[in-house]
Amino acid sequence: MRRSGQQIEKGAGCVASNTSHGSEGGLALDPMHQFEITRIVPMKFGSIDVSFTNSSLWMVLTVAAVSALLLLGSKRIVPGRLQSVGELIYEFISNMVRDTMGDEGRKFFPFILTLFCFILGSNMLGLFTLPVILHPFTVTSHIIVTFALAAMVWLGATAYGFYKNGLGYLKLFAPSGTPAVMLPLLVPIEIISYLSRPVSLSVRLFANMMAGHTMLKVFAAFVVALGWAGIVPLAVMVGFTGLEFLVAFLQAFIFAILSCMYINDAMHPSH
């Protein structure tokens, strides 16, 4: 339940929202408040709203962090720490692309690497917080963002499938070796599963991110509300935060590897 005071601050930027929020205290904290979009710089492009929001800010921060991680590393034969992290990510995705799509899929490597880095970066950055200065926000906790990413992959893979195989791409819906009797049953199932791909892909990421952050916020409210006994939910939060880091990585990995598989389906429709 939000009060009218919080409604007003919606347009006031994240700094103001943080301080005024702290004064509310205790259980009055709304665990969903962290997902609110606040317009930092309202902008219009014709009649289209293209305001620079806190979400945009974290997207830019994600790009900056990922770029720094990948570009600032040294170029030595024996890598330093930062260089090692960059190479680790590079080789991890490189191997994943090779394993799922073979050498043919090499041209999608930059895209998959970007996808993985963007999702991993925003998942991870959402877990850090700079109190007062910057309200934490997870870009991927918004269904519209994850759905846009999933739709991009799905539409791209579908278009590429038809471009590469023509109508032969429809063979994807009738796996070879299926008895003709089974086809009326199997083809609709395959089509439904194909159509649900972008939905499952986006909802999986969005729900994981939102659930984790909501849970952390709820426990944080308990810490404040319980006084000295708050040490118990605090301990739970510490463990949970560790788990959230795992989830942040895992969801980025799942998103990337499923994208690889969908693109691989587009290249080789007959299973």
Partner 1 sequence: MPQLITADFLPQLFWLAITFGALYYIISRMAIPKIGDVIEQRHGRIAADVAEASRLKADTEKAIESYEAALAEARANAHTIVSENRAEMTAEINREAAALDERLSKKLAEAEVSIAKTRNAAMAQVSGIAQETTAAIVTELLGKKPTKTAISSAVSSAAKG
Q: Which residues bind partner 1 (CB under 8 A)?
A: 32-33, 35-37, 39, 45, 48-53, 55-56, 59-60, 62-63, 66-67, 70-71, 73, 75-77, 79, 83, 86-87, 90-91, 109-111, 113-114, 117-118, 139, 141-145, 148-149, 206, 210
Cβ neighbour number for residue 7 with a 10 Å cutoff:
9
Three-state DSSP at 130 gives: strand
Evaluate the CA torsion angle 56, 62, 68, 70 in order and state its sign: negative
Closest CB 31 distance from partner 1, rounded Å: 11
Closest CB 74 distance from partner 1, rounded Å: 9
The smaller minimum CB distance to partner 1, of residues 62 and 169, is found at: 62
The smaller minimum CB distance to partner 1, of residues 60 and 185, is found at: 60
Distances (CA, A) of 4 to 10, 70, 84, 114, 230: 10, 44, 50, 41, 29
CB 247 within 8 A of CB 120: no
The smaller minimum CB distance to partner 1, of residues 62 and 233, is found at: 62
Closest CB 232 distance from partner 1, rounded Å: 29
Closest CB 177 distance from partner 1, rounded Å: 39
The smaller minimum CB distance to partner 1, of residues 52 and 194, is found at: 52
The smaller minimum CB distance to partner 1, of residues 86 and 105, is found at: 86
Measured in whole angstroms, the distance separating CA 65 from the mean position of its chain's CA atoms is 15
Closest CB 58 distance from partner 1, rounded Å: 9
Give the integer Cα–Cα distance in Å for 186 and 190: 6
Closest CB 203 distance from partner 1, rounded Å: 11
CB 88 within 8 A of CB 253: no
The smaller minimum CB distance to partner 1, of residues 95 and 241, is found at: 95
User: 62, 64, 10: which is closest to 40 by C-alpha?
Assistant: 10
Q: Which residue has tokens 């739970």?
A: 236
Give the integer Cα–Cα distance in Å for 69 and 65: 6
Distances (CA, A) of 139 to 102, 130, 197, 262: 31, 16, 21, 24
Distances (CA, A) of 77 to 23, 82, 86, 171: 53, 13, 14, 47
The smaller minimum CB distance to partner 1, of residues 29 and 172, is found at: 29
Closest CB 142 distance from partner 1, rounded Å: 5
